[in-house]
A and B are shown apart, each in its own frame.
Chain A
Amino acid sequence: MRKNGVKMIKIKAKDVDVFYGKKQALFNISLDIEENQVTALIGPSGCGKSTFLRCLNRMNDVIDICSVKGEILINDFNINDKSCDVVRLREKIGMVFQKPNPFPKTLYENVSYGPTIHGMAQSKQEMDEIVETSLKKAALWEEVKDRLHEPGTGLSGGQQQRLCIARAISVRPEVILMDEPCSALDPIATAQIEELIDELKKEHTIIIVTHSMAQAARVSQNTGFFHLGQLIEHGSTDKIFKNPDNKKTQDYITGRFG
C-alpha cells in the first residue's frame, strides 16, 4: 500500500548474518519489506530463505547453536535488541509452516489458543466471535462450522493448512510469515490458499517463502532472490521475473539451475 505514493516499509533488515555453530548461513542480508504487500522469497534449497524468514519472529532462538547478528527493524523497533520480548513479538508476527501442524485438539481450541494465552477475549461470546471471524477470513468457516468441536487433525491437508492460517490470524498479527505453505498440498488446495493470501494482504503484511516460481509470480508484489546465503537481488516481482539485473537471477528464473 502506498501513502501519497510513498512506500510504507514495515520491516527493515540491516546486515543480518546468521550462524549455525561456526557455519555461516546468511551473509549481510539487507532487505526492506513493504506494508500490506506480499513479498516472496525464492531461491534453491538451502539458500537461506527459510532461515531469514525465521529471523523475523525469532524462531531461530529455539535452535541452540543458531546465532543472529545485525538489525531487524519492525515498526522501527529492533527485534534483535535485548529489550524485545519474544512473546509480544510473536503475537504481532504470525507464522504458517510448511507442513500443516494443527494442535491435536478440536478446531475451536486450535483457533482460540492464541487469543486465550494473550487474553484477547473477555467472554465466551467474544471468543466465539474471534474464532468465527478467523475461520471466515481463512475461508474455512463454511466447511467446518458444524464440527468446530471435532479434532483439527481430522481435516484434509488443505483444510488443515487453512486452519493453521486461521490460527495465525486469530491474534490479528501485523505480519504473517509463510514458510512454503503449499508445498504439501495438491493444486486445488494450493489455489485456495493463494486466493486467501491475496485477500489477507489487505490487513496483513505477508512474507512467503516458496519453491514455486509460478506461485511467487502469481501471489507476490515484491520478490527477493536468495542464493548460497546471499540476497542476490530484490525488487518488484514484475521486474525480477521480466527483467532481472543479475545473471544468476536470470538463470534461476529461467530454470537453468535450482
Chain B
Amino acid sequence: MNKNKEQLLNKRYKAEQRFRLYGLSAIFMALLFLTIFIFKIFSTGYSAFQKTWLIVPVTFDAELMMLDQNPSKEDLQDADYYDIALKSMADLDLNANEDQENELKRMVSYFFEKEIKNELLNDPNLIGKTKEVYLTASDDLDQVFKGNYPRDLPEDQRRVSDYQLKIFDQLVANGKVESKFNISFFTNADSREAELAGIASSFMGSIFSILVCLMIAFPVAVLAAIYLEEFAPKNRFTDFIEVNINNLAAVPSIVFGLLGLGVLLAIFHLPRSTPLVGGITLSLMTLPTIIIAARASLKAVPPSIREAALAMGASRMQTTIHHTVPLSMPGTLSGTIIGLAQALGETAPLILIGMVAFVNTIPGSPMDPAASLPVQIYIWAESAERGFVEKVSACIMVLLGFLIIMNLFAQIIRHKFEKKWS
C-alpha cells in the first residue's frame, strides 16, 4: 500500500516535470521563430540605411550651362545642367566611346543633374571652377558596393556591365566611393528608382490614416460600449447586437476594403487613395475591437463600486461617468492602441480603396493621396529591381518599430493608470 502510494507520487512528479518541459520547449520554439524572423529582416534590411555616393569632379562651365556673366539667382535656377552633368560623368574615362559614355551616365541616379544644380545654388562662386560633388550611385552599383550583387554572373545576365564595374572598381580604389547614412530613405517619397525611393509618403500616410481611424473609432466605440454595458436592457435585441459586434470583429479585412470602395468612393465620392478614406475604412475594422475591449474593462469594474455610488444617490449616468468609465479607461485605452496597431499593419483594405497607387509626393493632410507603410512594403516587394529587396526589409523594420512603440505605450498606460481596488 505504502509502496503504491510512493509510486503514484513519483508518477505525479514526473508528469509535472514533463509538462514543464513541454511548456519550455513551446516558448523556446516561439522565441526561435521570432529570432530567425528578426535576424532575417535585420540582416537584409540594415544596409538600406546606408547609401552609396560617387565622388565625381564637376567643372561648372558657364558656357555649357548657357549662363551669361554675373548670372542672377533665377538664371542659375533656369540654367542647363544636363550637359555639364553628362560631361563630368563622361570624363571619368577620357577614352570612352559613345556607348561607354552612356554606360558611365547610368552609374549614377537620374537625379545627378539636380544634385549638381543644388551644389551650384548653394555656392554660386563655383562657376568656372571644378569641384568634387557627391552623386547618388545607381541602385545596382549601390548593391555592388554593399556586396549584395552577384558579380560572377555572366555579363549578359547582369544589369551592371563589365565596363561599369571596371570604372567603379577604379573609383573605389581611389577612395572616390563613399557610404553614408541614407537620409533620403526617410525624407523622400516613393520612386521608381530604388536608390531614390523613401518612406516619407507612406509613413505620413500611415500616421494620417491612424489619426483619422482613432478620431472616428474611439468615441463611437466607447459610447457604444458604455451604452451596451451600463444602460441597455438585457434582452434578445441587445444579445443580437452583441453577437453581431463579435461577428464584425471576425470579418476579413478585405471585406471592409470592398465596403470602403463601394460606399465611400462610389457613393460619397471621397477623394481616392487618401488617408481620409483609408482611415474611415480602418475605423470600421477597429470599431469592434475597441468595443469588445471597452466592454470587457467595463465589466471588470467591481459591481461594489457601482453599488457604492448608486447608494450615495448618484444617478446612473453619474455612476458611469464618475466611477465606472474612469476605472475602465486603462483597459479601454490599451485595447484601442492594440486595435490601432492592428489597423496600422493592415494592407488589404487599403489596396482596395486605392492607397496602392504610386505616390511620389509627401501628403500634407489626410485629403492628399498617400500610401501606407504596409502597402509600401507590398509595392516594393513586387518590384524587380535588386535595390528594393533591402528597402522592403528596412520598411518592415520601421513598421515594426512603430508597432513596438505603440504596444509599449499600451503597456505603460495599463500599468500607470490601473488602479487597485480592494
B130 in contact (CB, < 8 A): no
Question: CB-defined interface of B130-157 with A at 8 Å, one 1/0 digit per residue?
Answer: 0000000000000000000000000000
With a CB–CB cut-off of 8 A, which chain B residues contact A157?
422
B157 → chain A closest CB, angstroms: 70
B312 in contact (CB, < 8 A): yes
Contact B308 A103 (CB under 8 A): yes
**Given that A64-B233, A101-B305, A104-B419 are known contacts, is A95 also in contact with B313, CB under 8 Å in the complex?**
no
Scoring B234, B307, B308, B323 by chain A CB atoms within 10 A of each residue's CB, the highest score goes to B308
Contact A117 B304 (CB under 8 A): no
With a CB–CB cut-off of 8 A, which chain A residues contact B309?
103, 113
Contact B305 A103 (CB under 8 A): yes
Docked CA distance A151–B322 (Å):
16
Docked CA distance A171–B311 (Å):
11
Scoring A89, A97, A104 by chain B CB atoms within 10 A of each residue's CB, the highest score goes to A104
B420 → chain A closest CB, angstroms: 6
Contact A101 B304 (CB under 8 A): yes
- Which residues of B293-325 have CB atoms within 8 Å of chain A's CB atoms? 302, 304-315, 318, 322-323
Contact B311 A94 (CB under 8 A): yes
Docked CA distance A102–B323 (Å):
11
Contact A153 B310 (CB under 8 A): no
Docked CA distance A167–B308 (Å):
9
Question: CB-defined interface of A95-132 with B at 8 Å, one 1/0 digit per residue?
Answer: 10101111110000000011001100000000000000
Docked CA distance A159–B308 (Å):
16
Docked CA distance A97–B419 (Å):
21
Nearest neighbor of B420 in chain A, beta-carbon distance:
A153
With a CB–CB cut-off of 8 A, which chain A residues contact B420?
104, 153
Nearest neighbor of B233 in chain A, beta-carbon distance:
A64
Nearest neighbor of B323 in chain A, beta-carbon distance:
A103
Q: Indicate which residue in A87, A151, A153 contacts B313 across the interface (CB closer than 8 Å).
A: A87
A160 in contact (CB, < 8 A): yes
With a CB–CB cut-off of 8 A, which chain A residues contact B327?
104
B86 → chain A closest CB, angstroms: 74
**Given that A153-B420, A153-B421, A160-B422 are known contacts, is A101 also in contact with B313, CB under 8 Å in the complex?**
no
A214 in contact (CB, < 8 A): no
Docked CA distance A97–B310 (Å):
12
Interface size classification for chain B: 20 to 34
Q: Indicate which residue in B234, B302, B311 contacts A90 across the interface (CB closer than 8 Å).
A: B311
- Which residues of B339-389 have CB atoms within 8 Å of chain A's CB atoms? none
Question: CB-defined interface of A63-98 with B at 8 Å, one 1/0 digit per residue?
Answer: 010000000000000000000000111110011010
**Given that A64-B233, A104-B420, A153-B420 are known contacts, is A167 also in contact with B312, CB under 8 Å in the complex?**
yes
Docked CA distance A100–B304 (Å):
9
Docked CA distance A6–B30 (Å):
79
Nearest neighbor of B422 in chain A, beta-carbon distance:
A153
With a CB–CB cut-off of 8 A, which chain A residues contact B307?
59, 62, 97, 101
With a CB–CB cut-off of 8 A, which chain B residues contact A97?
304, 307-308, 311
With a CB–CB cut-off of 8 A, which chain B residues contact A151?
419
With a CB–CB cut-off of 8 A, which chain B residues contact A134?
none
With a CB–CB cut-off of 8 A, which chain B residues contact A99?
304, 422
**Given that A99-B304, A100-B422, A101-B308 are known contacts, is A87 also in contact with B323, CB under 8 Å in the complex?**
no
- Please give the residue numbers on chain B whose beta carbons come within 8 Å of chain A beta carbons, in ascending order: 233-234, 302, 304-315, 318, 322-323, 327, 419-422
User: Given A113-B322, A117-B318, 18 more contacts at CB 8 Å?
Assistant: A62-B306, A62-B307, A64-B233, A64-B234, A97-B304, A99-B304, A99-B422, A103-B308, A104-B305, A104-B420, A113-B312, A113-B314, A114-B312, A114-B313, A117-B313, A153-B420, A157-B422, A160-B422
Q: Could you list some 10 contacts between A and B, CB below 8 A?
A: A59-B307, A88-B313, A95-B311, A97-B307, A97-B311, A103-B323, A104-B421, A113-B314, A117-B313, A153-B422
- Please give the residue numbers on chain A whose beta carbons come within 8 Å of chain B beta carbons, in ascending order: 57, 59, 62, 64, 87-91, 94-95, 97, 99-104, 113-114, 117-118, 151, 153, 157, 160, 164, 167-168, 171
Identify the 9 closest CB pairs spanning chains A and B, nearest first: A101-B304, A90-B313, A95-B311, A91-B313, A104-B419, A114-B312, A101-B308, A104-B421, A87-B313
